[in-house]
Structure 1
Amino acid sequence: MINWNGTIVSEDANILAQNRAFLFGDAVFETVKVINRKILFLEDHYFRLMSSMRVLRMEIPMNFTMEYLEEQILSLVTKNKELDSSRARITVYRNDGGYYLPQNNTVSFLIHSIALENKLYSIEKTNYEVDLYKDFYITKQLLSSIKTTNKIINITGSIFANENGLDNCLLLNDSKNVVEVLQGNIFMLLGNKLITPPVSEGCLNGIMRKQILSLAKKIENLEVVEEIISPFDLQKADELFITNVIKGVQPITQYRKKIFTNLLSVQLIEKLNEMINTI
């Protein structure tokens, strides 16, 4: 079942014929994790969604409050019996009409969900190898920092990773700097300095990125900064890890011939789970 504009309908409901998200990628989305009927980091997701809609000049309905969207997501996971732990995605798209120029800026939304096995975060893969993806580049602009449905670079990069036996790929911007991975943000530990690229470099303004920055700044003797990461820096790093809301923190164990530790990653996962238990 899915939630379409507040109504629970079957997944085969025909909503694609004139759908601008399908035809033009005219949509934004948020993926959330639900644990015990609570949406993790709900406020951060809500305000990023509202900001993304404004960037795309979508008309925000008066009833699109945080409480309304929370109710819509939870009604679906309840119907699907996925209350313990689930992944839900809300896609907001501009309504039918027009070609590149829309006939109006009103919106509809679609929510779907799937059950997850674990409530708390853990390291899912002990061996995790990545490499650079250089076929296409991310541009340093505001659109790159929000979650639109235009994800062709992530799709072609995922195919490249699969064809080459990789677990993920590092994405570069048009200045050839490392900005993120296929499914999240990137962090690099160099000595006692934890680095992640600034949003101005073109990376996603990630929700888990924000949580990890906050948690890391509380660790003694650890300097936390937002700085440019060059591909040459990767070989000097002590640790690399990926962040997103569904996986939490995923350590990278290998980049080419370089092997990395995961001590900080494990520490951050523990702190993340402690924070979740208090929500």
Structure 2
Amino acid sequence: MVNYNGEFFADNVAIFANNNRAFKYGDALFESVRYVNGTLFFWEDHYFRLMASMRILRMEIPMEFTLEFLEEKIKKTIESNGLVNDAVRVRLTIFRNTGGLYSPTTNDVSYVVETNPMESPFYIIQDDRYEVELFKDFYVNKDMLSNLKTTNKILNVVAGVYAEENGYSNCLLVNTDKKVVEAINGNLFLVKENKVKTPPLSDGCLDGVIRKNLMKIIAGSDELDLLEESISPFELQKVDELFITNAISGIQPISKYRRKEFDTKVAKSLVGKLNARARIGN
């Protein structure tokens, strides 16, 4: 069942017309949230990122769109799908209502909540082969729009096709300054000895929820030093570890980039702390 503006529809029922702005112009935002045992992991961070993004895109935020209102709608959707006791992947999409061409005739919005069951209730480290390559056909812009989680993801889609065609698990995206900014589906961290580096938002990477929380964990660690600095492609084969973060997988270690194979020691040490932070809230 899909929740469309508070009404439930079967997955195979068409609920959008051809003039839907999310379809025609990518005029939409979304949040992917992990749910476990009645808890939406890092829900406040997701919510406030969504509200800030709506303001940037000049969408009208309905008065009822409180933290509690959207949480209730998500949980009702989980309940309607019989997933209350499961680990669930939730996608909340907000799009501007129909009307206009590039310039909309309204800034009012609608929402859709989708849910899918997951296997693991908590973040775990996958030790499978996970090889990546740079994707250099197109570049990420260094601007605030690149920080937002919008449905304008054609660069990521084409990079995903490239990865699939060439047998890679993922690709790393570069910006217009040829700096490495993120993976197709998450933020990037690299580890060299006790230093953990991730690109700054000014380089064009997604303002990720797990990125934000992991940076807090690392900054509070006695063993690790956090650096928020640009990453050159030449650094990638000189570091001890590379890993990707997102709200669904948590931490995904990269096992290989070109001739370099990587350790997973720091990633494994951080995943337990990330789970603990998710359970106790922000």
Q: Provide the rounded CA distance (Å) in 2 between the counterparts of 1:224 and 1:16.
A: 47
Q: Aligned-pair distance for 1:68?
A: 0.4
Per-residue CA deviation, residues 196-223 of structure 1 (Å, 9 max, x unaligned), is 0001100000000011111112222311
1:76/1:208 CA distance change after superposition, 3 Å: same
**Percent identity of paired positions between Structure 1 and Structure 2:** 48
Q: C-alpha distance in 2, partners of 1:16/1:227?
A: 44
Larger mean Cα displacement after TM superposition, 131-140 or 218-227: 218-227
Q: Which residue in the other structure is 1:64 paired with?
A: 65
Distance 1:161 1:125, change over 3 A: farther
Q: Does 1:165 align with 2:143?
A: no
- 2:42 corresponds to 1:41: yes
Q: Tell me the equivalent position of 1:236.
A: 238
SS state of the match for residue 205, structure 1? coil
Q: Which runs of 5+ in 2 are unaligned?
A: none
Structure 1 residue aligned with 2:124: 122
Aligned partner (choices 203, 206, 229) of residue 205 of structure 2: 203
Report the alpha carbon displacement of residue 17 of structure 1 after superposing the two structures with TM: 2.2
1:25 correspondence with 2:18: no
Look up the equivalent residue of 1:20 and give its one-letter code. R
Letter in 2 for 1:217: A
Residues 75-128 of structure 1 deviation map (CA, whole Å, 9 limit, x = unaligned): 001111122210111111110111111111111111111001110111234211
Judge conservation of contact 1:16–1:22 (CA < 8 Å) in 2: no
Point out where structure 1 has 5 or more consecutive residues left out of the alignment: none
Normalised by the length of structure 2, the TM-score is 0.97
Q: Distance in 2 between matches of 1:218 and 1:64?
A: 33
1:157 CA displacement: 0.4
Query: 1:273: Cα distance to partner?
Result: 2.0
Q: 2:150 aligns with which of 138, 148, 151?
A: 148
**Count of paired positions:** 279
Moved more, 2-11 or 261-270: 2-11
CA distance in structure 2 between the partners assigned to 1:126 and 1:265 by the alignment:
14
Is 1:248–2:244 an aligned residue pair? no
Deviates more, 1:76-85 or 1:167-176: 76-85
Aligned residue for 2:52, secondary structure, equals helix
The residue type paired with residue 210 of structure 1 is K
Partner SS, residue 135 of structure 1: strand
The DSSP-based 3-state class of the residue aligned with 2:101 is: coil
Aligned to 2:102: 100
Distance (whole Å) between structure 2 residues aligned to residue 232 and residue 13 of structure 1: 48
Alignment of 1:11-22 (within 5 A): 11=11, 12-22=13-23
Letter in 1 for 2:106: N
Equivalents in 2 of 1:125, 1:109: separation in Å? 36
Match of 1:135 in 2: 137
- Taking the TM superposition and a 5 Å limit, the aligned residue runs for 1:189-228 are 189-228=191-230
1:209-262 C-alpha deviation (Å, 9 max, x unpaired): 011111112222311010000000111111100000100001111000001111
The 2-side partners of 1:167 and 1:259 are apart by 14
Give secondary structure in 2 for the equivalent of 1:235: helix
- Alpha carbon RMSD of aligned pairs, Å? 1.0
Paired with 2:43 and 2:245, the residues of 1 have a C-alpha distance of 17
Matched residues in 1 for 2:15 and 2:218: separation? 46
| Contact 1:33 1:246 (8 Å CA) reproduced | yes
